Structure 1
């Protein structure tokens, strides 16, 4: 899941042998030291658990406005392309999918349930290849028209379009058995069929006929790929990004790019059909533009509308010590470990010498980079591709350095006197500029000549997703869509999936031994695959050095004194929140 993807997907994830949740709630205690979340969860096997309405939140009241404050605009609100945390969080207010995660009221743990569907899916032939979902009765869009199984199929169909390339690709690849899933079918635009390959519809039921067994399909069905859309309401990817058609409890009233998004209730949403969401607040207003320092200071002051606000993004590094030093703020903190690992990616299409890539790994001052980001409250220094929250994780360090501050001598030895000139792209924000400066300082010690190239924050990941992007190195982050290497290693390193644009790969590594191992491990039972993904993780770093793992991410953010019910996952769960006057 790319960052700022997926995100995360609600807050939970599955491996057939086990399940690790990513959500945490405020306990009034600051995070101390590294820890791995052990919030075991499950997939619902009882259709009653997929029925609405959602269990009331203790003490919740209806009414008022919930505010969200963030620095940047959304990359897209097109449901099939949503794959970034901030978009996922707001998208869950106006979109519904076949399945979704919710907190189990009995255990407090994450549970996958049917959202649009009556349950989490039927494995028709008990072989993981054919999955059937039946839609609930009474589902309606914002205009009162019925949501149909054909609309779900159409949503899947448009996800095949090259114009809709930024979202998750699991279902498309599983339906076709190809990483280049849209080679022969490119969606419903320009005269294409409205029914995607491998999908059939009968009445309220939709069936997915996969090319091979995919026992994780119910989890992929919780992603935006299965968001329904009537063909008549498809205004095209660009317009739909600004005004998606609501199937959830809220709908868009107005949207001014880079300024403000306003949601209001969808009167046709029926809570009796929804086992997950609430609609406690009347309006949801997103403010865009303030810097992390401004947002943090406003939440610290807790005045006016900011008393009803949630901070999107972390506490500004400059203010972390102030926040942690004020014990009265503990009850207004979202704090805990995330599934993300932050990387310095190396574009292997441009930097082809593996020793040069190894030199970058040795030269990087990871500890200094993390300290510049905010230190321990922000994360722990990383050495692996996968997060410690991933099932099968084993610690190793292919490029150890004293105190994680870099080993300039080893880097220079690998460069053999060369002084490579590298173009470093970074989002043109205060944080991005700080990161770029630290990277430049680290690598310059070994002789690298770093040319800084600022990029527009709103399109940063989109630009990096282009195969021919003109940059050598750049920072991004990734989290699993569920805690298995299957949602980390293949999307980041399967060279057969690299396309002209919309890539999840940031390194563009295309190595046949890696591609072959990915194909082989993907067919293994989950219990065996967990260990093998970790072995491949180490092989990739040792043999190819396509990136520098910087740190395993933690979150620390604030919310106003009149906000209640917010839970932390890959992004805030707004639909559980309410405000008091």
Structure 2
């Protein structure tokens, strides 16, 4: 699984999180994305938002699909979901105001109305400070009761609760006009209002009003923050155990850390849904199967495993075996995810621009990628944005060149502290980075950090480390969920930072504000330009590698594709052959 912040960087999952896709090996950087079709779908129309979803070729109803995974989902309460395996699974039982229709053939990912008739209307005259969504007619929950705009508002309200703070916080912060969205409102519990601040409901219409422009609201509305819930069905933190369905499937069984069984929700109307199908009779989730066993079971393809989908990646030790077995290639799912891993440079400590540029030239990305499984599982990065980002522009300001790194250092041997998660794999790959950088003249001191506190430690301002390797995935395919959280210096706090480079530049901050006020279709190219400007002028990080998916499905699974918008095997069109 991949959280939006790629926590796998902190521990033993670091290798497992990097998975493969089609790429052309150049022999110098570990691969190239020349043939990548970056997401160009953008925002769809009201016509795109009508159901039913386009039929899947060869699909038929019936049978059971099994998801095989190592552990339970972190959360299945829609308002608390912020990990992509749960995000994809939840589409089977949860609907939001908007959602994505992916076209795997073109790489196109189009945002459409899900519960809403379209992707929302800017009712502020183009200022992006007021957004109105109209719900479709005839929407129902698993018990046949109607889904209302008031239920959507209540779902947003409960997302404010400090007890349910695991999901994304965009809409809450925008409504409150502050990062500290709990300052004046903490949700509907303990006497709080059932209607969140800035939200009004009029019949089947719900309106969100913000103090500042937020032109990405149609995208933010695709998260579980806007999943509907009747107040009478709110079991607070217990909703994780049995969510109330608004989608094509509902919970029949949920044995924590063991098994989940979903069966059809007879009240779901496919004519209202442009995203989902309900081909299988059941979805069964089996847990407690490690990556090696998952991979071997998928290779063997016996019994129920023929209807299985790995919920993880081909084990690193078996990547070569899978990639060289031609009989398996029709069952391999591969493609770019939205995650980029990078070597963050603590600019509060490493102030010399030439030193930061030298680090960029000195890092041997190919060597590291070969160590974690080769170009099937990762590709050298040159940009801050992933190739899946709308408007992505390929460049590499610092191709591997030890001689250039040495020239920039001019005979100096900077002593830098590299912090890493203290696990077996963390130790192994820290040594690889140390060796790479020392060839250019750096002196690298390795500093292990307890796995559980890795992100806590590097997220402290004025920490005592010079280098560390986090990862980041966009919350929707826009630079607005990449550049600002990672490089807006005004967000730096005493702790809990995502700006791990502690980069604060007035010109960059100003451009972030300017681009944030633009419509998404115009902003896309501007985020890409700012991506390149940050790297060429300031070099606050070393883009390391693009994360890739490389997983297996059973021979009797049809319609399973890698989601352009999720970077995970999608289930909405799956069927049993």
TM-score calculated relative to the size of structure 2:
0.82
Q: How does 1:53-202 map to 2 (within 5 A)?
A: 53-103=52-102, 110-127=109-126, 128-202=128-202
CA deviation after TM superposition for structure 1 residue 576, in Å: 0.7
Pair 1:453-2:452 in alignment? no
CA deviation after TM superposition for structure 1 residue 52, in Å: 3.2
8 Å Cα contact 1:394/1:534 also seen in 2: yes
Pair 1:486-2:480 in alignment? yes
Secondary structure of the 1:575 match is coil
Name the CA distance, whole Å, in 1 between partners of 2:372 and 2:130. 46
Secondary structure of the 1:574 match is coil
Name the CA distance, whole Å, in 2 between partners of 1:305 and 1:4. 29
What does residue 17 of structure 1 align with?
Answer: none
8 Å Cα contact 1:3/1:476 also seen in 2: no
What does residue 378 of structure 1 align with?
Answer: 377
Q: How does 1:168-567 map to 2 (within 5 A)?
A: 168-237=168-237, 239-346=238-345, 351=349, 353=351, 361=360, 363-402=362-401, 409=406, 416-417=412-413, 419-425=415-421, 435-442=429-436, 446-455=442-451, 474-497=468-491, 504-524=498-518, 526=520, 529-541=523-535, 545-567=539-561
Secondary structure of the 1:196 match is coil
CA deviation after TM superposition for structure 1 residue 274, in Å: 2.2
Secondary structure of the 2:549 match is strand
User: Deviations along 1:157-202, whole A, 9 cap, x unmatched?
Assistant: 2333444444333323433444444433333344332212221001
CA deviation after TM superposition for structure 1 residue 566, in Å: 0.4
Name the CA distance, whole Å, in 2 between partners of 1:286 and 1:410. 55
Name the CA distance, whole Å, in 1 between partners of 2:166 and 2:346. 19
8 Å Cα contact 2:261/2:282 also seen in 1: yes
CA deviation after TM superposition for structure 1 residue 382, in Å: 1.0
The 3 A distance-change label for structure 1 pair 306 and 453 is farther
Please, which moves more after superposition, 221-230 or 543-552? Answer: 543-552
8 Å Cα contact 1:173/1:179 also seen in 2: yes
CA deviation after TM superposition for structure 1 residue 470, in Å: 9.1
8 Å Cα contact 2:46/2:113 also seen in 1: no
What does residue 19 of structure 1 align with?
Answer: none
Name the CA distance, whole Å, in 2 between partners of 1:406 and 1:318. 34
8 Å Cα contact 1:265/1:279 also seen in 2: yes
Name the CA distance, whole Å, in 2 between partners of 1:419 and 1:481. 36
CA deviation after TM superposition for structure 1 residue 281, in Å: 1.7
8 Å Cα contact 1:55/1:105 also seen in 2: no
Pair 1:36-2:43 in alignment? no
Secondary structure of the 2:82 match is coil
The 3 A distance-change label for structure 1 pair 532 and 192 is same
Secondary structure of the 1:89 match is helix
CA deviation after TM superposition for structure 1 residue 277, in Å: 1.1
The 3 A distance-change label for structure 1 pair 513 and 159 is farther
Specify every segment of 5 or more residues in structure 2 that has no aligned partner in the other structure, as ranges: 7-19, 25-31
Aligned residues: 549
Secondary structure of the 2:174 match is helix
1:571 to 562, 568, 573: 568
Name the CA distance, whole Å, in 1 between partners of 2:257 and 2:576. 25
Name the CA distance, whole Å, in 1 between partners of 2:455 and 2:143. 34
8 Å Cα contact 2:216/2:520 also seen in 1: no
The 3 A distance-change label for structure 1 pair 189 and 449 is farther
Secondary structure of the 2:232 match is helix
Name the CA distance, whole Å, in 2 between partners of 1:412 and 1:174. 44
CA deviation after TM superposition for structure 1 residue 375, in Å: 1.7
The 3 A distance-change label for structure 1 pair 250 and 506 is farther
Backbone CA RMSD of aligned residues: 3.7
The 3 A distance-change label for structure 1 pair 293 and 444 is farther
CA deviation after TM superposition for structure 1 residue 309, in Å: 0.9
CA deviation after TM superposition for structure 1 residue 540, in Å: 3.4
The 3 A distance-change label for structure 1 pair 364 and 290 is farther
Secondary structure of the 2:160 match is coil
Name the CA distance, whole Å, in 1 between partners of 2:496 and 2:145. 33
CA deviation after TM superposition for structure 1 residue 60, in Å: 1.7
User: Deviations along 1:232-268, whole A, 9 cap, x unmatched?
Assistant: 333334x333433322222334444444433333343
